[in-house]
């Protein structure tokens, strides 16, 4: 199978990992797993309930325990989305246990979700009291159903990102918004020492994007990027400080909850701790050199383009 971004057939071996080969497209530089695992293989992989419970080498470290952090990020992302488009109908693809959708609903969105892992889809159904569909293709939505479609940490998991983005295009209303995030394969640490990057983890991750390859793909699928953002590098603070900051948020609240009149102490503390790091980053590097992830917001164009 050829490169999903530029359709070139020539790729060079890049890295061997977990018995899979990651190759680099000679034309556009896209990094992807080749040959790709079959869809049966992938389906079986995501039905392991341990995937979302931090067991084994794959998946999330106890996804449920991260709920408050996920909700904080969800509020931030929805604020960005709402700066482009007012609440309407939203689909989250790869919705896991539905935390993002429940936050969106609280903010006035009508929501739908897609999730391939059955255990997670059940949890989302219980949380939201509505059906969650297993795949984008199985979801019964007519074309132009949505104002916004979100793909948080999704596009790196799928065998054919172009096919999924074209389906997203079809499901969005003209002028609707696509929002996605993915690990940043263009950051310096990855370029210097690829073998150490933990996001190279086939068969869980199959495609590895830089801001260039990501932008090229979404444009080729008919979207116009309106915001490309480097996700702030994760600061590996000593556990005690991290714990203290979390405690601070839980007792005082943050700018979203404003649980007590002292919610701003949390925001201020977090900012002070990360300030030195941010200054160095701003002065010397592009934020994409250091960010672990890329967030992209793009409008669906009116006419569908399929350039390569």
Residues that bind Zn ion (CB under 5 A): 3, 5-6, 8, 25, 27-28, 30
Q: Return the number of other C-beta atoms located less than 10 Å from residue 181's C-beta.
A: 21
- Output 3 or 119, the one with its CB closest to Zn ion: 3
- Output 7 or 62, the one with its CB closest to Zn ion: 7
Residue 214: CB minimum distance to Zn ion, A: 12
Residue 220: CB minimum distance to Zn ion, A: 11
Residue 34: CB minimum distance to Zn ion, A: 11
- Output 133 or 200, the one with its CB closest to Zn ion: 200
- Output 28 or 90, the one with its CB closest to Zn ion: 28
- Output 166 or 226, the one with its CB closest to Zn ion: 166
Residue 30: CB minimum distance to Zn ion, A: 5
Residue 201: CB minimum distance to Zn ion, A: 21
Residue 162: CB minimum distance to Zn ion, A: 11
- Output 5 or 139, the one with its CB closest to Zn ion: 5
């Amino acid at each position: 199978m050829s490169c999903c971004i530029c359709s070139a057939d020539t790729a060079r071996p890049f890295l061997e990992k977990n018995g899979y080969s990651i190759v680099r497209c000679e034309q556009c530089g896209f990094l992807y797993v080749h040959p790709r695992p079959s869809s049966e293989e992938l389906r079986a992989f995501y039905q392991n309930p341990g995937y979302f419970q931090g067991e084994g080498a794959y998946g999330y470290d106890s996804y449920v325990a991260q709920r408050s952090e996920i909700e904080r990020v969800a509020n931030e992302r929805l604020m960005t989305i709402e700066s482009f488009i007012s609440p309407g109908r939203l689909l989250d693809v790869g919705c896991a246990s539905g935390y993002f959708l429940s936050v969106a609903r609280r903010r006035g969105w009508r929501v739908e979700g897609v999730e391939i892992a059955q255990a997670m889809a059940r949890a989302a159904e219980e949380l939201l009291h509505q059906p969650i569909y297993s795949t984008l293709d199985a979801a019964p939505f007519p074309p132009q159903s949505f104002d916004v479609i979100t793909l948080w940490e999704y596009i790196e998991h799928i065998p054919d990102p172009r096919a999924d983005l074209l389906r997203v295009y079809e499901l969005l209303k003209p002028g609707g918004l696509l929002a996605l995030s993915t690990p940043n394969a263009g950051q310096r640490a990855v370029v210097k020492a690829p073998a150490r990057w933990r996001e190279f983890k086939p068969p869980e991750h199959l495609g590895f994007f830089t801001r260039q390859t990501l932008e090229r793909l979404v444009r080729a699928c008919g979207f116009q990027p309106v915001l490309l953002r480097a996700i702030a590098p994760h600061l590996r603070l000593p556990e005690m400080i991290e714990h203290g900051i979390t405690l601070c948020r839980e007792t005082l609240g943050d700018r979203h909850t404003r649980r007590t009149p002292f919610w701003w102490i949390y925001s201020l503390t977090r900012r002070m701790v990360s300030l030195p790091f941010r200054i160095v980053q701003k002065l010397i590097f592009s934020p994409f050199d250091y960010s672990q992830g890329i967030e992209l917001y793009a409008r669906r164009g009116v006419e569908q383009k399929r350039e390569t």
